[in-house]
Structure 1
Amino acid sequence: MDSGNLASLVAGLIALALVLNRGSWLPLRNVVTIAHEGGHAVVALLSGRKLNGIRLHSDTSGLTVSTGKAHGPGMVFTLLAGYPSVSLLGLGGAWLVNADLARQMLWAGIALLVALLLAVRNAFGVLSVLVTGGALFAVSWFATPAWQALCGSLLCWFLLLGGLRPLSELSRKRARGRARDSDADQLARLTGAPGGLWLFVWFLIGAAALIVGGYWLLLMPQV
């Protein structure tokens, strides 16, 4: 195993520890929420809905408000987009890191955060986006290419793994009847398909992204 493979494997293990440990997961989950709400926002705009704003809360929950038809494909795709967006961002980032484009991946992340910032409507949300963007900027501007690749790999692993944990959290909440307005339950009311089916679809997407993205990351160029 060369240094690039080993560095990415270590980054993956660190990311796994960050996701599984409650003390680190609680603050870092804000990054997952940013990606989740960003997915809702992008798909809402692409489906022709009007984006009214995004709110990110200190309990790591979030809310994206858009106006348009209360039913139909646009609303369905908007609700569907949140959970997979986290894993798909990790997958896209993994492809860039594998292509030796870690710095470009970091700058793409910064650009997405700047666009998201324009839609955020509360102080904590602004702070969360600025802190996340500031961290990416610091790595992209001051770190060496080797450290940029390593940090990019760590971020991708975190998104790929962190995209799955909220699904297990949502499943437990639904089992206790505490998530009646979750994305899955809203989709169930709109489509007639059970909420558990949507959870399963999201899990399949996340698992596939983790397998493919993890493979790309473990083949990252030597650092």
Structure 2
Amino acid sequence: MDDWWRRVVEVTPPADHRIVLAAGLVAVLVIAWSTTWRFARHVVTVVHEGSHGLVALLAGRSLSGIRLHSDSSGLTVSRGKPHGFGMVATLFAGYVGPGLLGLLAAWVLGTGHAIGMLWGLLVLLGLLLLQIRNLYGLWVVMVSAAILVAVTGWLPASWQSGFAYVVAWFLLLAGPWSVVDLQRSRNRGRGRTSDPDQLARMTWPGGGVWAALMLAVDVGCLVVGARLLFLR
């Protein structure tokens, strides 16, 4: 146990800027290539729905469960007032969740705790698993956790650090990309049940304004996160 804890809190040497840049390019390829994005977007959905659930609990709502679907959509059900700050915050959290988690990951990497960051993500997946209410969602979370277990259990520290940088870049980039993808669907007349459109029905700003706010948060996280990744 002591050896395991030492590995988790171990401070890794600063990554060369070329490694940081290469990790970013890998993340870009994963998102830009439709074949890999088809699978990777499920990870974004996990973070999206997990963000809904976390903020719902923080806002004092009762979380009923989370479902993840094969088309990479998801559903987080919480009970409480159908309007007000708690509901607005819960709906807003989904599309900014990946960017904010990526920013947190970049900050942790900046402190030199790449391996600890991966274990932190594994703990979050374990907590999320308790709220999953369908078999496909269980499968997605378990596969994601299995990949992290394999990386942290079998790869050398240098490879774990590189993988951690890829994950951080992926989250930072996937945040704004998901909002842009959503807006394309909205422009085609789809996605009218999306988070921005639900927010528009309970507040005075329109869905486009809410989508722009979400994009602004994600872009801000990307800019600050990228600076943190290169700073060390």
Band the TM-score falls in, shorter-chain normalisation = over 0.9
Moved over 2 A (4+): none
Equivalent position of 2:113 in the other structure: 101
- What is the CA deviation profile of residues 110-132 of structure 1, one whole-angstrom value per residue up to 9, with x for unaligned ones? 11000000000111101110111
1:207 aligned onto 2:219 = yes
1:134 is displaced (CA, Å) by 1.2
> Within 2, Cα distance between the matches of 1:23 and 1:166?
16
Task: Give the counterpart of 2:189 among 177, 181, 201.
Answer: 177
**What is the Cα-based RMSD across aligned positions, in Å?**
1.2
User: Contact 1:43/1:78 (CA < 8 Å) preserved in 2?
Assistant: yes
1:157 is the counterpart of 2:173: no
Change (3 A) 1:3 1:159: closer
Whichever residue aligns with residue 106 of structure 2, its letter is A
The Cα shift of 1:182 comes to: 0.5
* Aligned-partner residue type, residue 179 of structure 2: L
The one-letter code of the counterpart of 2:28 is L
In the TM superposition, what whole-angstrom CA distance separates every residue of 1:146-179 from its partner, at most 9, and x where no partner exists?
1111000000001111111111111111112211
For structure 1, the residue ranges without an aligned partner over 5 or more in a row are none
Number of the residue aligned with 1:186: 198
Q: Distance in 1 between matches of 2:165 and 2:154?
A: 17
Residue of 159, 176, 180 corresponding to 1:147: 159
Q: Which has the higher contact order (CA 8 A, sep 6+)?
A: 1
Query: What does the per-residue CA deviation read over 1:10-67, in whole Å, with 9 as the maximum and x for residues that have no partner?
Result: 0101100110111110111000000000000000011111101100011111110011
Does structure 2 conserve the Cα–Cα contact (< 8 Å) formed by 1:15 and 1:157?
A: yes
SS in structure 1 at match of 2:131: coil
1: CA distance, partners of 2:147 / 2:62: 30
Q: Is 2:128 the partner of 1:116? A: yes
- Equivalence for 2:45: 33
Distance (Å, rounded) in 1 between the aligned partners of 2:15 and 2:126 = 34
For 1:115 and 1:190, how far apart are their aligned partners in 2? 30
1:3 deviation in Å? 5.9
TM-score using structure 2 length: 0.92
Selected match of 1:54 from 47, 55, 66: 66
Matches within 5 A, 1:87-98: 87-98=99-110
* Corresponding position of 2:10: none
With normalisation by structure 1, the TM-score equals: 0.95
2:135 paired with 1:135 = no
SS at match of 1:192: coil
Q: Which amino acid aligns with 1:4?
A: D
Q: Specify the SS of the correspondent of 2:83.
A: coil
State the shift of 1:141 in Å: 2.0
